[in-house]
Amino acid sequence: MALKAMTGNKAFAHGVRLSRVQVIASYPITPQTTLVEYLADFVNDGDLDAEYIRSEGEHGMMAQAIGAAQTGARTFTSTCSAGFAYGFQGIVSVPGLRLGNLMLANINRPLGAPGGLQADHSDGLTARDWGWVYLYGEHHQEVLDTAIQAYRIGEDHRVLLPTMVGAEGYYISYTTDLVELPEQEQVDEFLPPFDPVGVIDADNPMSPTVFGTTEQMMGMKYAVHQASLRAKELIKEVNVEFGETFGRTYGNGLVEEYKVEGADIVLVTMGSFTGNARKAVDDLRKDGKRVGLVKIRSFRPFPTEDFQRIAEDTSAFVVVSRHDSAGGAGAPVGYDVKSALYNMDERPFIQDIVSGICGVEISSDDFAILAERGLKAVEHGGFKEDLVWYPNMRITERFDVPPMPEEVKKNFVYPGTGACQGCGMTLIWKTVMETAGRDSVYVSTSGCGGWSGAHTMCIGTGGSGGNLPGGAATAVGIKRGLVKLGKTSTNVVLGSGDGSFGDMGFMAASGAAERNEDILMFVYDNQAYMNTGMQRSGATPHLAWTTTTPVGKVVRGKQAPTKPLPLIMAAHGIPYVATASAAYIPDLKRKIKKALSIKGCKYVHIYSPCPTGHRYPPEKAIEVSRLAVQSGMWPLYEVENGAYRITVRPKEFKPVSEYLGAQGRFRHLTEDQLEKLQETTQEEYHHLELLEKITNEDL
């Protein structure tokens, strides 16, 4: 069979496609993003017949996945890091609901603060205790194969538990390797359609109950526990059968042993860095050092019996965890290894290693160093320390922060951001913060704004980074804290992307508006999730190309309409709402100034040119933004205490085709579509004029 070069995320996507997944609930987050983009390509090209839900956030995404799985449809979802945490309410419920037809791809990335984008197991390991069958893939082929095996395991009536497949960010997700793509017919034979126990179906009404007497609930928990233990046999069985069909097996399914025989010490790993450990074992064996390796493939259920068997013949385990358990007696992977062995008559020495945290590289040399330490410990009758961090940590904390130098305070925005050439966002920061002045603090959210270093690197007023769903909430917290401390005059300014603010952050934004919190919220609207690589958001214009609304053979561009955020915010009845544009700086300044003169909740929605995502050369940024206003597609208006007023009225409207035609993301539009957009633009502008009229008339 031919080998094909592809990234790990693409290999995973092929695994999902070959499993004939029926519903996909997706939300982008690095480094998982391209996985759901490839799936969007498959769907829009007609290569995968699945319902594809472009969710508003992971909390919803998990609920959508649960709902879909409860109909009996084979369901796929994926996330990592912050998304994993945001979806956690759903994540912890899936096993108890016994949705074995649901798989979650966890493209591992650090969770919490400090964060980062590289590989780390802190996200998936937080879901250790709920009953997910959690399998880790070491490389591209294993990830693809495990995706197919996962549904076989989870959907089996002996198990009926959801499966999570871990694959490390970057090392797997974004690197390219050669992969053998199984034939669809073979996969179909290996993976029959799901045969559910219960489904949501109007013809045969039934519902899952997870609340009952305390005894019933404890019983259900026990059933999950037992099913998880039973999964061990099934994982092994499926591994063998997979080998018979496709010619590949992975150890015994639960663990993969490497040169364990006659080893004095055994390294224990999980995930992609196993490759480096394997090389270390080879190098040390060449020098006559008796070192072996166990790769944990199934973290849940935990291969207790395999460890007990291996422990019979080895003197020490060095267990590497890519996650910490602060203040604990060990590290997350070592906990299980130790528990598995504790009641043995004779047990080997065990050392917990916390390493590779937040993406720090663990090379084969590093593994060799750890293994050598293990060999020494065996000689000396044990480890000096039960738990060590590697690299060796020499961290001191200091508790004074030197104040901002006066000369630095002159500026509000510093150059040197990570934003692309011609990005409108930094221009908007500068204009807004200069207008807001020194007595202000800035709150950013994850996105191009947050990641290019808004509050720590470039905006000279200081401030904080809110998370994607919680930007407005962070701003509210800061404002209330400042008020309580008597710093009432300080402007708290939230600068958020459209995706963050208008989709998953909308609950917090709407809450702040409803309570009329005294903050200024502005959105730099680049009309997509740009930071994660141009995925559609609610605010993405109708029909626009994005990486999750690709122009495919069957479906072309974003089918849903544009979410009218300024109008929705205005409907809250807050004292001030305005639209603005990076191309109309005096208008923007005036609106910010006015907004900040008003007490209560203010919202300014600013068009932010994005040459990278809108597809045009950077020098055109302002020109294209101007066309948006001149064509009527981006009307500039304000709503003050309910009264609408158009602030910049083009004398003569340019055709929308001039604005749309300047951007690659609209290149695929047909004449008919352009005509229709011309019509709706005029209609919407007319509605605005009517609103202006009605709201200013004395009735």
Stretch of 68-76, 184-192, 608-616, 646-654 lying at the interface with ligand SF4 (CB under 6 A): 608-616
Is position 413 an interface residue for ligand SF4 (rule: CB under 6 A)?
no
Of the residues 31, 497, 541, 611, which one makes contact with ligand TPP according to CB under 6 A = 497
Residue 500 interaction partner, one of another protein, ligand TPP, ligand SF4, none, beta carbon < 5-8 Å per kind: ligand TPP
85 binds another protein (CB under 8 A): no
Relative to beta strand 23-26, strand 520-525 is unpaired
List residues bridging with 535 in a β-sheet: 529
Residue whose CB is less far from ligand TPP, 498 or 638: 498
* Closer of 372 and 689 to another protein (Cβ): 372
Extract the tokens encoding 153: 């395991």
- Stretch of residues binding another protein (CB under 8 A), selected from 257-265, 571-579, 610-618, 680-688: 610-618
What residue has token string 């409860």?
70
Q: Does 623 sit near another protein (CB under 8 A)?
A: yes
| Contact residue for ligand SF4 among 321, 612, 631, 663 (CB under 6 A) | 612
Tokens of 4: 């094909």
CB-wise, 148 or 583, nearer to another protein? 583
Compute the least distance from the CB of residue 596 to another protein, in Å: 20
Q: What are phi and psi of 24, to 5 degrees?
A: -120, 125
- CA 243 to the chain's CA centroid: 33
* 388 binds another protein, rule: CB under 8 A: no
Mask: binding to ligand TPP, 57-86, rule CB under 6 A, as x and -?
Answer: -x-----------------------xx--x
* 329 is an interface residue for another protein by CB under 8 A: no
Give the binding-site size for another protein (rule: CB under 8 A). Answer: 59
- Strand blocks (E) in 48-125: 51-54, 75-79, 102-108
Among ligand TPP, ligand SF4, another protein, none, the one that 612 touches (CB under a kind-dependent 5 to 8 A) is ligand SF4
Does the protein bind ligand TPP through residue 632 (CB under 6 A)? no
Q: Is 420 in the site for ligand SF4 (CB under 6 A)?
A: yes
Pick the closer one to ligand TPP by CB: 272 or 608. 608
- 395 near another protein (CB under 8 A): yes
Handedness of CA 510, 511, 516, 518 (dihedral sign): negative
Alpha-carbon distance of 148 to 191, in angstroms, equals 8
- In angstroms, what is the C-alpha Rg of the chain? 28
Token duo for residue 273: 């860095």
Told to check if 606 binds ligand SF4 by CB under 6 A, we report no
Helix (H, G, I), strand (E, B) or coil at 556: strand
Work out whether 107 is an interface residue with ligand TPP (CB under 6 A): no
Q: Identify whether the C-beta of residue 491 lies closer than 8 Å to the C-beta of residue 499.
A: no
Q: What does 464-487 look like in DSSP terms, one character per residue?
A: EEE-GGGHHHHHHHHHHHHHHTT-
| CA atoms of 614 and 25, how far apart (whole Å) | 25
Q: What are phi and psi of 322, to 5 degrees?
A: -95, 40
Which pair of structure tokens corresponds to residue 530?
Answer: 């740009």
651 binds, among ligand SF4, ligand TPP, another protein, none (CB under 5 to 8 A by kind): none
Strands (E), 80-132: 102-108
Angle between helices 506-514 and 471-484 (to 10 degrees): 40
Q: Which residue has the tokens 């009845």?
A: 573
Contact residues toward ligand TPP (CB under 6 A) are 28-29, 58, 82-83, 86, 445-449, 468-469, 497-500, 526, 528-532, 537
* Footprint of ligand SF4 (CB under 6 A): 419-420, 423, 425, 448, 526, 530-531, 610-613
